[in-house]
Amino acid sequence: MNFQTERLGPHMAAAVDGVDLNRLPDAPTQAALTRVLHDNLVLCIRGQRLAPVPFRDAMAQFGVPVLRKQLARTTECAEVNIISSEDRDVLGDGKRLVNGENWHTDDSFMREPCSLTMLYGVVVPAVGGDTQFTNMYAAYADLPDEMKARIDGLKVIHKYSSSRKLSRISTRPAAEMAAMPEATHPLVRTHPETGRKSLYLNPNRMEQVVGLDRAESDRLLDALIAHATQPAYEYRHAWRQGDIVIWDNRCTMHKANADYPDGERRLMHRVIVAGTAPY
């Protein structure tokens, strides 16, 4: 399979054209797609038209799909979650919920957070609804040496319902909340496949830096978040219907935007694939 690659942002993100994922790529093509992803952190595969099962099967070529029950799922395929402009806090106040509306990396409250997320634009609004990404390799590389020396080796506690969280989260059953895992992860992680170091932050899930008092921990986390979310590190994806955007949670953060006009619909199908404990 031949495909064409186009660089999307100055320091991250690439799009490929000429791939129909209804036919699984052969091994060299799959390896080439994975290389584009590793080199660019965010990979957009244009022009797809996929039912949930073939979407899951195509994403399974990048890793092992995992179930997430905090989000709605398609009836056809349990590993395909739904993110929609119609999302509501159904077990709570019933009000609109925007999943992922603040900077985050997926699943950092898990001991083994997912490595990749794949979002498929089934219906996209005519304007707005972009997804923003930030390059955490670059954010780490640009830190002053004294800051690198200070944070290398530090660990952070991540919780599903962190007291620092910015986003409203959906109401979950009490038993599920009580069983929700938390995890301690390094502040600087090494990508298991590229060997590159990146900042590992999640403003929505980080609770406290281990070994620092709360005020000092908050100051450090706030400073690192402000640094990593500067426009200089950002790529903003304007969706086209049929885009599949795959991002690497080990070296990026992302955020959704619900800035499209009322009455416009946005429907995304999402798959995540398994990762390993960050180190």
List of residues contacting ligand SIN (CB under 6 A) = 83, 99-100, 117, 119, 131, 254, 256, 268
Q: How far apart are CA 277 and CA 258, in angstroms?
A: 32
Taking the least distance from each CB to ligand SIN, the nearer of 70 and 230 is: 70
Q: Which of 190, 264, 249, 258 is nearest to 68 (CA)?
A: 249
Residue 101 or 218 with smaller CB distance to ligand SIN: 101
* φ, ψ of residue 277 in degrees (nearest 5): -65, 130
SS3 of residue 191 by DSSP: coil
Q: Are 169 and 192 in contact (CB under 8 A)?
A: no
Q: How far is the CB of 260 from ligand SIN (least distance, A)?
A: 11
Q: What is the C-alpha separation between 61 and 207, in angstroms, rounded?
A: 34
DSSP character at residue 232: G
- Shortest approach of ligand SIN to residue 83 CB, angstroms? 5
- Is 117 or 135 the residue whose CB approaches ligand SIN more closely? 117
Q: Which is nearer to ligand SIN, 61 or 84 (CB)?
A: 84
Shortest spacing between CB 272 and ligand SIN, in angstroms: 9
**Residue 275 and residue 54: Cα distance in Å, rounded?**
22
Handedness of CA 35, 39, 43, 45 (dihedral sign): negative
State how far the Cα of 124 lies from the Cα of 202, in Å rounded to an integer. 26
CB-nearer residue toward ligand SIN: 191 or 254:
254
Least distance from ligand SIN to the Cβ atom of residue 274, Å: 16
CA angle, residues 197, 203, 204, in degrees to nearest 5: 125
CA distances from 170 to 2, 99, 167, 236, 241 (A): 42, 9, 10, 26, 27
Question: Rounded to the nearest 5°, which phi and psi values hold at 214?
Answer: -60, -45
Considering beta carbons, is residue 33 or 268 the nearer one to ligand SIN? 268
Q: How far apart are CB 117 and ligand SIN at their closest, in Å?
A: 6
- CA dist 169 and 100 (Å) reads 9
Q: Which CB, 208 or 229, lies closer to ligand SIN?
A: 229
The CB-of-233 to ligand SIN minimum distance in angstroms stands at: 17
Q: Which is nearer to ligand SIN, 105 or 217 (CB)?
A: 105
CB 134 within 8 A of CB 252: yes
Least Å distance between CB 73 and ligand SIN?
A: 14
Shortest Cβ distance from residue 241 to ligand SIN (Å)?
14
